[in-house]
């Protein structure tokens, strides 16, 4: 009754939350398993950004009814954004769910499971579902525990199994870390670090402020200590996470005060500087930012902090000023392009990814043409392209002039084709060059090894297990839309 499988839907924030829950459960004596067939307890960590993501999780939970009939002691829990968004209303469709836990209560999961297990073992029917979606002060500081592959392997598999269900189409690689297979040499060389949660932007299409609450940042010293501990355990690359990561420390007194003469340096850039100074950390990434966060201090940081990878996720959402206003996005297409150009001026080899919504209510052919031309001009290497989905409770859900599905699909395919050509062209330009790769481990076939370049391109190559966790030079010999293939240049590598 202590074997737990965690299935994660959605974004990297959800992956990080699942990892923290797994670590807390492991510390409480639970066993984190890598297959749902082996578990006594299944936790679905859910996403609400799109209706399709919610329906996928609901379908999975409904499918498990048969298992609960065959296995009366089986425990099913729903965590995260959908739990926060729907709460007790989930029981109308899923009456057999034992546990519903919102986004600010992940740290309570071990105690709730203890109570459910104690009731099962005592033969006492636990009649009512445990539901906790209340807000909790300082909940952002609870997501600090890590369960790495080096801790035993199984836990990493369980919490890394879910690809994002928030976008209709993704091309040019992805930002996940689930490509490496398990093996004796498996180790986790990259990790997510949550620095900020919640969002104050209230974009008209987005339900995140409801599911994640107001912006809340962690103390800088706590984050730095967490990264130090990860580096001591072999992690070489960290990705700083937040709903709007560039808003870090904007509201909190916990953020460090500005030093003399540095009043123009934001708390987020000061955090980047402190993480950059840590020994053992070789690469730094961050996601997801907002265009308004790219002030000159952050742009300049890409030129003066070598560990900060030349890879930026910069959500565009639309290239039409009229639609951006309807979305309540506080920038124009010209301002957005100015940010892209400023970053390329500092790092000409910068890699860009983005989020785009097609078919937002009222989007005309002329509006979409504005998006298409800006999408082409920015020359993205990767993108998450969304077909607008109505989210009940958001202003956009009440707007008229909803766009037909077939129009959304056409616009989606237009951008996908541009993206495919961009990504293939960028990858092909790397053939014959030597790229720094962080070796993660064997790929899913077990025959080759996998790693990432500084530009977050997936690389496949032959290597020795001893190189896992090392930065090595890779001579690129061929390329596809999503991957690079090559040979390591090992002269001087121990």
Domain ranges of the chain: 3-139, 167-429, 434-488
Instruction: Name the pairing type of β-strands 196-197 and 190-194.
Output: unpaired
Instruction: Find all residues with CB under 8 Å of 161, minimum gap 6, and list them.
Output: 7, 8, 178
pLDDT of 250 strictly over 70: yes
Using 50, 70 and 90 to split pLDDT, how confident is the model at 252?
low
Q: Which CATH superfamily is domain 434-488 in?
A: Nucleic acid-binding proteins (2.40.50.140)
Higher pLDDT, 172 or 96: 96
Q: Is 39 annotated as a binding residue?
A: no
Using 50, 70 and 90 to split pLDDT, how confident is the model at 204?
very high
**Are 3-139 and 167-429 equal in CATH topology?**
no
Tell me what the mean pLDDT of segment 198-224 comes to. 92
Q: Residue 45's closest CA among 23, 17, 24, 75?
A: 17
Using 50, 70 and 90 to split pLDDT, how confident is the model at 125?
low
pLDDT of 482 strictly over 80: yes
pLDDT at 151: 59
Q: Where would I find the beta strands (DSSP E) of 203-350?
A: 216-217, 237-241, 283-287, 311-313
Using 50, 70 and 90 to split pLDDT, how confident is the model at 70?
confident
pLDDT of 101 strictly over 90: yes
pLDDT at 174: 45
pLDDT of 263 strictly over 80: no
CA distance 413 to 335: 26
Tell me what the mean pLDDT of segment 321-342 comes to. 98
Instruction: Find all residues with CB under 8 Å of 123, minimum gap 6, and list them.
Output: none
Higher pLDDT, 285 or 52: 285
Q: Is 3-139 in CATH node 3.40.50.12160?
A: yes
Q: Is 206 annotated as a binding residue?
A: yes
pLDDT at 160: 37
The two structure tokens encoding residue 141: 């500081």
What's the length of the chain? 494
pLDDT at 65: 87
The two structure tokens encoding residue 214: 């107001």
Provide the 8-state DSSP code for 71.
Answer: -
Q: In this structure, how many other beta carbons lie within 10 angstroms of the beta carbon of residue 124?
A: 9
CA distance 276 to 306: 8
Helix, strand, coil tally for the chain in percent (to 5)? 40, 20, 40
Instruction: Name the pairing type of β-strands 75-80 and 471-479.
Output: unpaired
Using 50, 70 and 90 to split pLDDT, how confident is the model at 181?
very low
User: Would you say 83 and 47 are in contact if contact means Cβ atoms under 8 Å apart?
Assistant: no
CA distance 157 to 180: 10
The two structure tokens encoding residue 169: 């189409």
Q: Which CATH number fits domain 167-429: 3.40.50.150, 1.10.540.10, 3.80.30.20, 3.40.50.300?
A: 3.80.30.20
CA distance 156 to 19: 7
Q: Is 199 annotated as a binding residue?
A: yes
**Is residue 471 exposed (0-12), middle (13-18) or buried (19+ Cβ within 10 Å)?**
middle
Q: Is 11 annotated as a binding residue?
A: yes
The two structure tokens encoding residue 27: 């510390």
Higher pLDDT, 438 or 159: 438
Higher pLDDT, 53 or 342: 342
Measured between its terminal Cα atoms, the distance across the chain in Å is 45
């Amino acid at each position: 009754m202590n074997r737990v499988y965690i299935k994660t839907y959605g974004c990297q924030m959800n992956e990080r939350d699942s990892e923290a829950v797994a670590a807390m459960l492991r510390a409480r004596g639970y066993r984190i398993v890598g297959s749902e067939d082996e578990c006594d307890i299944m936790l679905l960590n859910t996403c609400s950004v799109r209706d399709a993501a919610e329906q996928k999780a609901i379908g999975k939970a409904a499918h498990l009814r048969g298992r609960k009939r065959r296995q009366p002691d089986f425990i099913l829990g729903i965590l995260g954004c959908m739990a926060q968004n729907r709460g007790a209303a989930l029981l109308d469709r899923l009456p057999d769910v034992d546990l519903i836990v919102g986004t600010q209560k992940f740290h309570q999961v071990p105690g709730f499971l203890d109570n459910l297990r104690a009731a099962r073992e005592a033969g006492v029917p636990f009649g009512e579902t445990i539901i906790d979606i209340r807000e909790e002060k300082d909940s952002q500081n609870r997501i600090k525990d890590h369960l790495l592959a080096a801790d035993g392997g199984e836990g990493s598999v369980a919490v890394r199994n879910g690809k994002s269900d928030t976008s209709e189409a993704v091309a040019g690689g992805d930002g996940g870390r689930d490509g490496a297979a398990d093996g004796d040499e498996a180790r986790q060389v990259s990790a997510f670090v949550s620095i900020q949660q919640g969002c104050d932007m209230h974009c008209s299409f987005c339900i995140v402020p409801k599911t994640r609450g107001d912006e809340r940042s962690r103390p800088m010293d706590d984050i730095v200590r967490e990264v130090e501990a990860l580096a001591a355990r072999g992690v070489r690359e960290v990705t700083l996470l937040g709903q709007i990561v560039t808003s870090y420390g904007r509201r909190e007194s916990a953020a460090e005060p500005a030093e003399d003469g540095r009043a123009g340096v934001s708390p987020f850039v000061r955090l980047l500087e402190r993480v950059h100074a840590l020994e053992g950390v070789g690469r730094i990434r961050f996601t997801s930012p907002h265009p308004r966060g790219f002030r000159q201090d952050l742009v300049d940081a890409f030129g003066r902090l070598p560990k900060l990878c030349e890879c930026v996720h910069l959500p565009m959402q639309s290239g039409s000023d009229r639609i951006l206003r309807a979305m309540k996005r506080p920038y124009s297409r010209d301002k957005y392009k100015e940010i892209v150009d400023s970053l390329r001026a500092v790092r000409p080899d910068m890699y860009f990814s983005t989020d785009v919504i097609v078919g937002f209510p009222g989007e005309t052919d002329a509006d979409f043409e504005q998006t298409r031309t800006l999408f082409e001009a920015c020359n993205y290497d990767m993108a998450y392209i969304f077909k607008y989905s109505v989210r009940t409770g958001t202003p956009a859900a009440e707007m008229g002039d909803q766009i037909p599905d077939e129009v959304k699909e056409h616009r989606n395919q237009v951008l996908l084709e541009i993206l495919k050509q961009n990504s293939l062209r960028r990858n092909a330009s790397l053939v014959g060059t030597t790229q720094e790769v962080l070796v993660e481990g064997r790929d899913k076939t077990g025959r080759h090894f996998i790693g990432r370049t500084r530009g977050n391109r997936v690389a496949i190559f032959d290597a020795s297990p001893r190189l896992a966790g090392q930065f090595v030079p890779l001579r690129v010999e061929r390329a596809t839309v999503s991957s690079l293939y090559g040979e390591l240049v090992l002269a001087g590598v121990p």
